[in-house]
Amino acid sequence: MTKSGLIERVAAGTPHISKKDTEIVVNTIFDSMTEALKLGERIEIRGFGSFQVKVREAREGRNPKTGAEVQIPAKRTPFFKVGKALRELVDAAPPAPGASPGDE
């Protein structure tokens, strides 16, 4: 599902709100979540999951082409942990058409 697909679904479920207003609401939610993560805050949506920022320490890596050692700087990266209710719903759903058991 894309962002525009999400806006379409929300608009279909709320016929009393215009599609343009629905787009503003969805964008506001995403902007608020982005801002919270930028500030290092944790976001928890019960039954869905939680978002937080994890710090990846600086480390040494290797250039796969040359094998030379490379310094990888520390960075902050968003992390999503799925909630129990969502995990159980996804697990109980039938597999997507064309998906093989190793596509996880």
Condensed to tens digits (0 to 9), the pLDDT of residues 34-80 reads 999 999 999 999 999 999 999 999 999 999 999 999 999 999 999 99
Helices (H) and strands (E) in the chain, counts: 3, 5
Q: Domain 43-94 classified CATH 4.10.520.10? A: yes
DSSP designation for 52: E
Token pair of 75 as six digits:
């960075």
pLDDT at 99 over 70: no
pTM of the entire structure? 0.75
- In which residue are the tokens 């805050």 written? 41
| Cα within 13 Å of Cα(22), Cβ side | 17
Alpha carbon 100 to chain centroid distance? 23
Q: Where are the domains of the chain?
A: 1-41, 43-94
Condensed to tens digits (0 to 9), the pLDDT of residues 26-37 reads 999 999 999 999
